[in-house]
Structure 1
Amino acid sequence: MGCVPSALSKRPPLQLDSTLASHAVASPNHGERLSTASPPLLILHYTGMPDGELALARLSDPASQVSCHYLVAEDGCIIQMVPESRRAWHAGQSSWEGVSDINSHSIGIEIVNPGHEWGYRDFPDVQMAAVKALCLDITARHGIRPQHVLGHSDIAPLRKIDPGERFDWAGLAEAGVGLHVPPAAISGGRFFCEGESGQPIEALQAMFSLYGYGIEVNGVYDALTKAVVTAFQRHFRQARVDGVCDASTIETLRLLILARQAL
């Protein structure tokens, strides 16, 4: 994207919080955090636009009402857009572990990728290396726990699907960022899908709620439950993303809960 177009390079200066950021483009879209504590969540997004320059322009346009703390280009260039002390507008209506104002409790990273609408593709190695380094820096400085490194789809499963099933969550965890377990093999056996109800569905919903997802434990495999299962698969069981809670999905969730409890 040529890291910063000249028109945007003339924005007011922004002091960099991370030494890994090579450029600053100040977005006007931010406000006061409603929590004075260090943000406990790190949220990863893809830009979902045809190219990085368009994404950068939108994230710095006051009319868009959206922003992020950092933008990572496909060539690995890291651009800071909002001070970490400020509330960037990246999460929208979302929740995790009962917290609904995710923007006040998080740092948001946008990763340049056209997304599902514009030709979703793998994230280049150089870009992923930059994302890993930036995440390590942020989580270390703010004490963000592994289970609190999340995708946009995790916190807003009915609305969002990014960063998607091509994002290398396993590689990120191997680098020391985020919580991940090897997904259980896909096989036959009992499965649950939209429209079913009963105690097994209630137990399933309770497991997702225990991990942190914003899901109602009502015993009905409704649209929200399907969306949560789909979001979970995009993050933790990427080989098949269909919203059907099969044995592989349930076992992966069980192992993930155990891994979280062991931290």
Structure 2
Amino acid sequence: MPAVLTPDSPLALKVIPTPNQGERKGGRRPDILLIHYTGMPDAASALQRLADPLAEVSCHYVVLEDGRIFQMVSEAARAWHAGVSSWAGDTDVNSASIGVEVVNPGPDGGYPDFPEPQIDAVTKLGLDIVSRWRMPADRVLAHSDVAPGRKIDPGEKFPWERLHRAGLGHWTPPAPLGDGRSFGPGDEGQPIQALQAMFAMYGYGLEISGVYDPRTEAVVAAFQRHFRPALVDGIADASTITTLRDLIRSRPQPSAASA
């Protein structure tokens, strides 16, 4: 780790270096922006843990409730934030991503709403990062997207639609809840294969088995937390399937500059 960490983003107000980092494997350049919540009681305890060598976790940036941004790892380095995860067949998400931790205690702390100054700061920081690294809109992801069933952050209260309106991330209006065919645990057959193939096409790590198994349920719930937060139950109802279809159809095509 360098003796002095120079902030990569002009939005970072303070540097708190952590030893929990390494080199990006294979010289990877990051093309995923991964959003987390800290899941700890307060900012101080989160920052202490992220800098603790015994914890073996870290991130590139931490955004406090009042909008202050601290940088802990250089964007050129590999922070340890994603854990066991995958996206679009890539199982080394740490090497492929820049991780942003948003201070929020999560469900164990009552899961408060994200304050306005904090979301403003996350949006500005995210726009800065994706612009400099030319990250595709559909690779602005939740921790729960890359680790379904293991992680649920930043959760269904995180305002993805608001970020999208500001130009950050991929979004489509969720299809309304209502009647229609749905699929759930224990269902099998070709419709389940087609459903699993759609999730895998978007990027979720899911085997196309034709069985609505616990992994499929976890992926559906992760998708709902991000893209259809009105009801997170792991059931692939008509609203969930239609929203997924619309996202795939509206997916931005890679440009020559980002290819």
Q: Shorter-chain-normalised TM-score: which range?
A: over 0.9
Match of 1:51 in 2: 42
Match of 2:164 in 1: 173
Matched, 1:162 2:153: yes
Matched, 1:95 2:53: no
Any residues of structure 2 matched to 1:107-122 within 5 Å, and which?
A: 107-122=98-113
Q: Do the aligned partners of 1:237 and 1:252 also contact (CA within 8 Å) in 2? A: yes
Matched, 1:140 2:127: no
Any residues of structure 2 matched to 1:1-263 within 5 Å, and which?
A: 13-260=4-251
After TM superposition, give the deviation of residue 182 of structure 1 in Å. Answer: 0.3
Secondary structure of the corresponding residue to residue 117 of structure 1: helix
Deviates more, 1:13-22 or 1:219-228: 13-22
The runs of at least 4 aligned residues of structure 1 exceeding 4 Å deviation read: none
C-alpha distance after superposition, 1:98-130 (max 9, x if no partner): 000000110000000000122111100100000
Structure 2 residue runs without a partner (length 5+)? 255-259
1:157 counterpart letter in structure 2: P
Structure 1 residue runs without a partner (length 5+)? 1-11
Equivalences, count: 253
After TM superposition, give the deviation of residue 188 of structure 1 in Å. Answer: 0.8
Secondary structure of the corresponding residue to residue 147 of structure 1: helix
Match of 1:3 in 2: none
2:166 counterpart letter in structure 1: A
Q: Do the aligned partners of 1:84 and 1:107 also contact (CA within 8 Å) in 2? A: yes
Separation (CA, whole Å) in 2 of partners of 1:132 and 1:35: 29
Secondary structure of the corresponding residue to residue 43 of structure 1: strand
1:188 counterpart letter in structure 2: D
After TM superposition, give the deviation of residue 38 of structure 1 in Å. Answer: 2.0
Separation (CA, whole Å) in 2 of partners of 1:249 and 1:149: 19
After TM superposition, give the deviation of residue 13 of structure 1 in Å. Answer: 3.6
Secondary structure of the corresponding residue to residue 26 of structure 2: coil
1:25 counterpart letter in structure 2: I
Separation (CA, whole Å) in 2 of partners of 1:243 and 1:41: 25
Secondary structure of the corresponding residue to residue 107 of structure 2: coil
Secondary structure of the corresponding residue to residue 45 of structure 1: strand
2:27 counterpart letter in structure 1: T
TM-score, with length taken from structure 1: 0.94
1:145 counterpart letter in structure 2: P
Separation (CA, whole Å) in 1 of partners of 2:109 and 2:216: 27
TM-score, with length taken from structure 2: 0.96
Q: What percent of counterpart residues are identical?
A: 58
